[in-house]
């Protein structure tokens, strides 16, 4: 295992630990306080693909699915850029999840007394968790030079998370009406001030 793979492993353990308590809480809340939970493949398929990518990242740390060029010095710069993407966006995902607080769930749902979160990173973009998931996974794939992760992220994960975000916005607009329309005017979809 080289230094970049080791740093990926350390960051993965740290960010999973940072997310663990919220994930357990999110599961409990989603089972007890749900007002609306749409029945759609976008509930589980994007998160299942993200879980598959997580497994592939763990395997990639041990050089499963990585190109042989991983040991070639000429790819060091691109691997470091991938590592920086992975670290930056995996922690941005943690901060986005923390900003949601009691309204964090893994499903697209509306909870009793649901509030539209417009603080933290949500002041600028509406879907920082999805953006962070995509870019941290892509960064890990690049850092590992993994020929399995990169195509899955580009061809499957990106379209699914975009569709999920669009669907989620329809639900939020239905529930929050003008408040969401106004919020949408002042924030970006995935990129600040765009969309």
pLDDT digits (tens, 9 = 90+) for 127-141: 999 999 999 999 999
**55-67 confidence digits (pLDDT tens):** 999 999 999 999 9
Mean pLDDT of 91-115: 88
What CA–CA distances, in Å, run from 126 to 108, 166, 194?
14, 10, 11
Cβ neighbours of residue 107 closer than 8 Å, sequence gap 6 or more: 30, 37, 43
> What is the average pLDDT across 69-96?
93
168-194 mean pLDDT = 93
pLDDT of residue 36: 84
Average pLDDT, the chain: 91
For 13-44, write each residue's pLDDT tens digit: 999 888 776 555 555 555 567 888 899 999 99
Nearest one of 111, 79, 117 to 97, comparing CA atoms: 117
pLDDT of residue 33: 77
Global pTM reads: 0.90
- pLDDT tier at 192 (50, 70, 90 boundaries)? confident
Domains recognised in the chain with CATH numbers: 3-185 (1.20.120.1630)
What is the share, in percent, of the chain residues with pLDDT greater than 70?
Answer: 93
**How many residues are listed for the chain in this entry?**
195
Q: Determine the pLDDT at residue 86.
A: 98
Q: How many CA atoms lie within 13 A of 146 on its CB side?
A: 33
Of the pLDDT bands very low, low, confident and very high (cuts 50, 70, 90), residue 103 is: confident
Q: How confident is the model over 162-184, as a mean pLDDT?
A: 96
- 34: which strand partners? 111
Q: What's the Cα-to-Cα distance from 153 to each of 8, 127, 141, 156, rounded to whole Å? A: 17, 17, 9, 6
């Amino acid at each position: 295992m080289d230094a970049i793979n080791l740093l990926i492993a350390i960051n993965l353990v740290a960010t999973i630990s940072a997310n663990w308590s919220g994930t357990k809480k999110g599961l409990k809340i989603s089972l007890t306080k749900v007002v609306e939970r749409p029945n759609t493949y976008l509930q589980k398929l994007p998160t299942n693909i993200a879980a598959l990518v997580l497994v592939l990242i763990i395997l990639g740390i041990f050089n499963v699915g990585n190109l042989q060029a991983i040991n070639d010095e000429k790819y060091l710069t691109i691997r470091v850029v991938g590592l920086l993407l992975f670290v930056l966006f995996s922690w941005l995902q943690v901060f986005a999840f923390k900003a949601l607080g009691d309204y964090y769930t893994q499903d697209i749902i509306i909870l009793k007394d649901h509030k539209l979160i417009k603080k933290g990173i949500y002041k600028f973009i509406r879907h920082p968790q999805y953006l962070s998931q995509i870019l941290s996974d892509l960064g890990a794939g690049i850092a590992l030079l993994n020929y399995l992760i990169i195509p899955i992220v580009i061809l499957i994960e990106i379209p699914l998370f975009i569709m999920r975000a669009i669907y989620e916005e329809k639900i939020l607009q239905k529930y929050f009406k003008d408040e969401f329309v106004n919020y949408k005017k002042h924030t970006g979809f995935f990129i600040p001030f765009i969309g």
